[in-house]
Structures are given as C-alpha cells and as structure tokens.
C-alpha cells in the first residue's frame, strides 16, 4: 500500500455528519482514520463503503474524552499512513432538557464528551498534525439560536468555540489552521430522533433556503477548511443556510 500524501482523523466518523466528512475527504484523496465510540457495525460499514471506492481507510475505537484511547488512535494513524495532517472532531452528544429539570449527571456526561473530548482531541492534534495541516472542531448554531432545552449542549459548544479561537493563536508559526464549523439543523439521526414531523417541518422552514441541511452540505465546508481554505483561521463558521 502506498503512503498517502495527506491523512485525516475524523472522530465520530461512523455516522451522520462525521461519516459524510470521512467520505468527502476520501474523495479528495486523503487517507482517513475513522474514530468511533462503540458502534462497530457502523464503523465497519463505513470502512467497507470507502474501501470499495479505492480509498485508504482505517476504523479505530476510542472514547474521545479518554486521552489514552485517543493517543492510540493517533498512534495507529501514524503507523498505518505515516502521519496526520487533518483532524476533524465531529463526535458529540446532545441530550435535551430544560435547565431546571436537567439531571446533573447528564450535564457531567455532556461536558465530558463535548468539552473534555474536544480538549483531548485538540491537544493530541497540536502535538501530531504536520505543517500545512488543519484542525476542525464542531460547535452548533444553537449557540446563536438559543432554543429552550439546549442549555447543556449549547454551553458545551460555547466552550468549543472559545477553545478554537484561543488555540488558533497559540499555534502561531506552526502553519496549522484551527477553525470550528457550527451547523444549523441537519438531517441526522441525532437531530431527528424524538422530534415530531410538525416540529421538523417548522424548523426546516426557518432558513431562507427552506430546508434542513444534509450532512453533505456540512462536509463541503469541512473539506474547504481541510484543503484550499488556508486563509480561514481562528474562525467559527455558522453553516445553517442563513437561518441566523
């Protein structure tokens, strides 16, 4: 197997937006390491689909908030493909509840996955990504929509945005960009689960483009940041069809 010129790690890459990102980067010729939390069947399916297209791809299980597990993911990326150039951190969880009713154990789980997980992945990325590379985190347009029920999730994503802006400036001189993509409502299982058809239709009508995003819409923005968008750095890109 030839050594690819560029290599990406995509956390949460077995499902939803993460899977579409993995596929999109593979189409650009990157070797892709898919990190997944626990759904091995979904990860194996993603690997099979990408391998069938001729892509170089590897799936590795790892909890994003566990620094030892994630170090192993980066180690395997380097051992298999020779290095790491792009890290796209898509993994996250989104339990919903009014702030007054939220079980604090759930809050702790959200903060562990979404905040600590981003910190762990970014810390490893800083140490491993080669010059000319890119780190892409994921926030959410909920930080501006401010919808009821999203207090824990929105707070965690606000932290991601702060980390991104600071880290971009800490990497002065490294030729590595750091940005965050903040999607609006996107047609993934995580967004659609538990919502009525009426609510989904109402939310879909909000953007001027009058539809939900598809995962591919978000993946195109990531591919730009991971590739030609070198002069975009230290930014939060709200990718929501103009809803805000």
Residue 231 inside a domain? The answer is yes
Is the dihedral angle over the CA atoms 195, 199, 201, 206 positive or is it negative? negative
pLDDT given for residue 117 in this prediction: 98
Summarize pLDDT for 124-133 with one digit per residue, the tens: 999 999 999 9
Q: How many domains does the chain have?
A: 1
The CATH number covering residue 149 comes to 3.40.50.720
Confidence of residue 41 (pLDDT cuts 50, 70, 90): very high
Distance (Å) of CA 184 to CA 116, 142, 188, 207: 23, 7, 11, 9
User: Which is nearest to 138 in space by CA: 166, 179, 186, 168?
Assistant: 179
Residue 244 inside a domain? The answer is no
Residue 76 inside a domain? The answer is yes
| Mean pLDDT (whole number) for 166-186 | 97
Whether the pLDDT of residue 3 is over 80: the answer is no
Residue 2 inside a domain? The answer is no
Residue 151 inside a domain? The answer is yes
Half-sphere exposure of 202 (CA within 13 A, CB side): 5
Confidence of residue 229 (pLDDT cuts 50, 70, 90): very high
pLDDT given for residue 224 in this prediction: 98
Confidence of residue 1 (pLDDT cuts 50, 70, 90): low
What DSSP line would sit under 57-68, residue for residue? EEEEE--TT-HH
User: Whats the size of the chain, residue-wise?
Assistant: 244
Whether the pLDDT of residue 50 is over 80: the answer is yes
| Mean pLDDT (whole number) for 160-187 | 97
Q: Which domain holds residue 111?
A: 7-239
Higher pLDDT, 55 or 243: 55
**Active site (catalytic) residues:** 153
Confidence of residue 244 (pLDDT cuts 50, 70, 90): confident
Summarize pLDDT for 135-155 with one digit per residue, the tens: 999 999 999 999 999 999 999
Other CB atoms within a 10 A radius of the CB of residue 132 amount to 13
Residue 1 inside a domain? The answer is no
- Average pLDDT score, the chain: 96
Residue 97 inside a domain? The answer is yes
Whether the pLDDT of residue 103 is over 90: the answer is yes
pLDDT given for residue 189 in this prediction: 84
Whether the pLDDT of residue 235 is over 70: the answer is yes
Distance (Å) of CA 95 to CA 92, 113, 154, 171: 10, 12, 11, 33
């Amino acid at each position: 197997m030839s050594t690819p010129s560029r290599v990406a790690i995509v956390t949460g890459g077995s499902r939803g937006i993460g899977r579409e990102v993995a596929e999109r980067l593979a189409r650009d010729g990157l070797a892709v390491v898919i990190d997944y939390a626990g759904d091995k069947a979904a990860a194996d399916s993603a690997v099979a689909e990408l391998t069938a297209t001729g892509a170089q791809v590897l799936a590795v299980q790892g909890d994003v908030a566990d620094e030892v597990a994630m170090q192993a993911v980066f180690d395997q990326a380097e051992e298999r493909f020779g290095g790491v150039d792009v890290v796209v951190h898509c993994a996250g969880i989104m339990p919903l509840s009014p702030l007054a009713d939220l079980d604090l154990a759930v809050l702790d789980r959200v903060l562990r996955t979404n905040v600590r997980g981003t910190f762990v992945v970014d810390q490893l990325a800083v140490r491993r990504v080669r010059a000319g590379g890119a780190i892409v985190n994921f926030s959410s347009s909920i930080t501006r929509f401010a919808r009821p029920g999203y207090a824990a999730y929105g707070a965690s994503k606000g932290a991601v945005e702060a980390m991104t802006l600071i880290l971009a400036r800490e990497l002065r001189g490294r030729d590595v960009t750091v940005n965050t993509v903040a999607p609006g409502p996107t047609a993934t299982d995580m967004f659609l689960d538990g919502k009525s058809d009426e609510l989904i239709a109402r939310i879909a009508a909000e953007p001027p483009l009058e539809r939900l995003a598809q995962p591919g819409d978000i993946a195109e923005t990531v591919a730009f940041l991971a590739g030609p968008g070198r002069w975009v750095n230290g930014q939060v890109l709200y990718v929501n069809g103009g809803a805000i």
